[in-house]
A and B are shown apart, each in its own frame.
Chain A
Amino acid sequence: MDAAHAHGYGHGDHAHHPSGILRWIQTTNHKDIGTLYLWFSFSMFLVGGVLALMLRVELFQPGLQVWRPEFFNQLTTMHGLIMVFGAIMPAFVGFANWQIPMMIGAPDMAFARMNNWSFWLLPPAAILLVVSFFVPGGATAAGWTVYAPLSTQMGPGMDLAIFALHIMGASSIMGSINIITTILNMRAPGMTLMKMPLFVWTWLITAYLLIAVMPVLAGAITMILTDRHFGTNFFNAAGGGDPVMFQHIFWFFGHPEVYIMILPAFGIVSQIVPTFARKPLFGYSSMVYATSSIAILSFIVWAHHMFTVGMPATAQLFFMYATMLIAVPTGVKVFNWIATMWKGSMTFETPMLFACGFIFVFSMGGFTGLVLAITPVDIQLQDTYYVVAHFHYVLVAGSLFAIFGGVYYWIPKWTGYMYDETLGKWHFWLSMIFFNITFFPMHFSGLAGMPRRIPDYALQFADFNMISTVGAFGFGLSQLIFLWVVIKCIRGGQKAADQTWEGAEGLEWTLPSPAPYHTFETPPVVK
């Protein structure tokens, strides 16, 4: 070991590692595992994207042309499950693996072998999800929210989805334990909590959310499983159960889940904006407090997803007020980003474009979130395309754009080469334009009364649906540019400097590019 270390940075020391496929199966290295997570996530993103395009094809025109309604419902359900659990969440864990040790000056993650296991649980889960299309009755068609009692009616595809969610949940919990332990115990000397980069802070809070709510989801879907097969009646009114209880349990998981998918995105944007504004992040401590407030509030707003189930006026009012409150810390974050830009010296490389795009488009999702927080308006808009527009503005233009920004920001550190800036800009602008062509008209169709999750629609929605479908194909194809940029960057190009970006601060930029296989074996000292 010592001999290998003596090579120092800049030399690969793969001598004591298996090579080829076994390297990836047995690896306990945080960088390898980060890479695996990111590629897994991108593959699932493509699968989920193809499902989305398949359902947009059916919605291109009114009438049933391509799919049977029951298959259409499978497409919407699996698109949701795969994107949430297969694409967005693992992407952020990939970032955590690559970046957290390098940003806090740790040599690796705290539990290296568990790290390997938490990744390798994911492919079997993904296979269960994809294979469920081919079992009798097809994949689950109960929506990604798998509401009972519809989900108790489903075929064996539902059971496969339940097992997949169990496995992914276990993987998330392990990943979170690892991240929390790493952050709390392995920071370099001198790096106090309030000196941590904001990305690390947001992930610390996210990991706590995950540990708190993934078991809740596991409980909810286990109850569905026993209702389906073992004669229990948790959600069956005829047996003394309550279908609405499922929704309460699901959304007690589901709302924090929404923030699980956006807080690390906030973290990435908070790294990118100061770098390209060449100015320190404005209001660091208020950012930390705002993130924590959002996390705490996320536990007391769940019933705003179910205003139409019929709850007492006092409950509706409580959940409305609590939901509106979330706008305050979220607003603080947006204001802080803009104050960071203010009187900076900005340049607009691809990461900054994605960060600015994020702030702009995510905020539109935030605004519609405020509209939906107002109970009476929500009752009109619940389960319409307005909601579909809203959550795609925060999940695609929010989480996904931040993920893209993060990849462009750190990929020179990962590969040692600069990505193709021109192609990166094309990727940004095409994504941004097609994203809005796809999802902006959905606000209108939702307001005008188009329910979500329908394979066919009344004629007044035809124009907007046609536009959305065209936009969706444009958006989907634009992502191939991203794949091309990443592959090109891995294969070579202009050498990246260690301090890749002029204004970047943080320990990861003190390392060579590409970051050596082992970093910070001797902890750096943070002043």
Chain B
Amino acid sequence: MTSKLARLFAAAMALTATGIAGANQYNLQPPQSMIARAIYDLHSLIMWIILAIFVVVFGAMTYSIIRHRKSVGHNAEQFHENTMVEIVWTVIPFVILIGMAYPATKTVIAMKDTSNPDLTIKATGYQWKWGYDYLREGISFYSSLATPRDQIEGRAPKSDTYLLEVDNPVVVPVGKKVRIITTANDVIHSWWVPALGIKQDAIPGFVRDTWFKADKPGTYRGQCAELCGKDHGFMPIVVEAVEPEKYAAWVKDQKEKMAKTAAADDPGKSWSLDELKARGEKVYAANCAACHQATGMGVPGAFPALNGSKIATGPKEGHIAVVLNGKPGTAMAAFKHLSDTDIAAVVTYERNAWNNKTGDAVTPADVKALRK
């Protein structure tokens, strides 16, 4: 409790001593791209203008409140109209607004210019993680929150990057124009990295784009900015900007990794029930446990239990179909973006975990046959 009070006191002190410590707690994050800098400067300009208006207008109001009060013996005058004054205080703000609109217009046009990118990355919002596809390089991966539950639930001390860390960051080369294409799989999300000055909604069924060019190497952190359901606060975005050579090495490395995974998922491979279950448990933890819970019990009223459910113990075709296509009108999204092997594994796992004892081993071929 004392430490809480101490922190509160410290915060109050910090508030009064604006600008002395941690200046970037009080303003936009230090800009790291041309657009972010333009936004930062625009915001500063407007704040200065507003401050000037504030001083003039509330200076007059404060003066009036002090001097024109009955208790100091001021008698009320009875004027109540002056067309000239009205015109003046209509025209002056209008002129000030034009002064603000001009630089803002230039920035809007610059932000919209997504032409001639050096690199295009598709960011897909899922409940609740991001998927990335490097279109030309053919690299694809998912990026989920890396903060352990223990930290969130207060059983472990929180790290410096609490809630702003992911397992697989987006890696980009510095000084190159990166075009981000956004879309979503289920509901609307928003891809936001403040330091890069970029925020673009990711809309299911539609594609939008935006761009950035990181000035210097560094790790830039952001979060989903559009309410997307229960774990909206837990799907951060991390962009690592690296030197072009390091980027090339990373691309090579990723491609090798993907080739290895693809080889392991050779469609001709035959899987044993236990292999499928072991892999399925991992897929389940990454994709399903957020709603249906690790126990398979779901959340009563919100997310149905899989343990003992009709679908998970009924015909396997029905089960695969729900996983592939989702259930329209509910929070159950389509998972057709997962590979045949992953879906086969997770369905197998769900049919043989907890009290579900169907003994079914679903093969990737079963899944493939049901894909529309």
List A residues at the B interface (Cβ < 8 Å). 61-65, 68-70, 73, 135-138, 141-143, 147, 149-150, 152-153, 155, 227-229, 236-238, 242-244, 277-286, 308-310, 312-313, 316-317, 320-321, 324-325, 327-328, 331-332, 334-335, 338-348, 356, 359-360, 363, 367, 370-371, 374-377, 379-380, 382-384, 441, 444, 447-449, 451, 453-460, 462-464, 466-467, 470, 503
8 shortest interchain CB distances as A-B pairs: A237-B205, A454-B233, A310-B208, A463-B11, A136-B301, A345-B76, A280-B80, A70-B230
Sample of 10 A–B contacts (CB below 8 Å): A279-B80, A312-B112, A331-B93, A343-B74, A344-B74, A359-B61, A367-B54, A375-B107, A376-B104, A380-B39
Tell whether B7 is near chain A: CB-to-CB under 8 Å: yes
8 A Cβ contacts from B173-196 to A: 182, 186-188, 190, 192, 194
Complex Cα spacing A250 to B206, Å: 19
A514 to chain B, nearest CB (A): 27
Known: A313-B108, A331-B93, A379-B197. 10 other contacts (CB 8 A): A70-B229, A320-B108, A335-B89, A338-B60, A345-B74, A346-B64, A374-B43, A375-B108, A380-B39, A463-B14
In the complex, residue of chain A having the shortest beta-carbon distance to the beta carbon of B190 = A308
In the complex, residue of chain A having the shortest beta-carbon distance to the beta carbon of B191 = A308
B11 touches A380 (CB 8 A): no
Complex Cα spacing A279 to B80, Å: 8
A126 to chain B, nearest CB (A): 22
Range class of the B interface residue count? 35 or more
Tell whether B46 is near chain A: CB-to-CB under 8 Å: yes
B11 touches A466 (CB 8 A): yes
- With A444-B26, A447-B26, A463-B11 as known contacts, state yes or no: A457 contacts B81, CB within 8 Å: no
Complex Cα spacing A235 to B82, Å: 52
Contacts of B54 in A (CB 8 A): 363, 367
A226 to chain B, nearest CB (A): 11
- With A286-B86, A341-B68, A345-B70 as known contacts, state yes or no: A448 contacts B27, CB within 8 Å: yes
List B residues at the A interface (Cβ < 8 Å). 4, 7-8, 10-12, 14-15, 24-29, 35-36, 38-39, 42-43, 46-47, 50, 53-54, 57-58, 60-61, 64-65, 68-71, 74-82, 85-86, 89-90, 93-94, 97, 100-101, 104-105, 107-109, 111-112, 151-154, 158, 160-164, 182, 186-188, 190, 192, 194, 197, 199-201, 203-206, 208-210, 222-234, 299-302, 328-331
Across the interface, A379 reaches (CB within 8 A) one of B58, B61, B111, namely B111
B104 touches A375 (CB 8 A): yes
In the complex, residue of chain B having the shortest beta-carbon distance to the beta carbon of A69 = B230
- With A63-B154, A147-B227, A328-B97 as known contacts, state yes or no: A376 contacts B7, CB within 8 Å: no
Contacts of A68 in B (CB 8 A): 230
Across the interface, B199 reaches (CB within 8 A) one of A227, A339, A345, A380, namely A380
